[in-house]
Amino acid sequence: MLYELRIYDVNPGKMKVIQERFRDHVIQLFMKHGMIVTHFWEDLNEANNRLYYIFEHANMEMRNLNYDRFRNDPEWIELKRITELDGPLVNKQESLFMKNVAFFENK
């Protein structure tokens, strides 16, 4: 299993908009393209203006294939256009890729 931690540095004043976009549309679009979100957080320190979430992917090949499908989905393209009419929601996005270690089993 491949885990992807995505970190969004959200532009000032855009946290509510991006959270609504995820809640109302994007998570369903992810599922449509076989992308499984397992956790979602916002930074405890609101001044950091960060949003975090974790995907579970079978492997990097499937991750890349699913992302390509998502990014090229006309519904996503239009949703992004509409929700960013007043400017981009995200200043910076980072992905960290992780795998399980053999010595630890989460019970």
**Topology given in CATH for the domain delimited by 2-98:** Alpha-Beta Plaits (3.30.70)
Q: What is the pLDDT of residue 105?
A: 80
Q: What is the largest CA-CA distance in the chain?
A: 48
Predicted TM-score (pTM) of this structure:
0.90
- The ranges assigned to domains in the chain are 2-98
Q: What is the pLDDT of residue 7?
A: 98
Strand partners, 72: none
Averaged over successive runs of 10 residues, the pLDDT of the chain (107 residues) comes to: 97 96 97 95 96 97 97 97 97 96 81
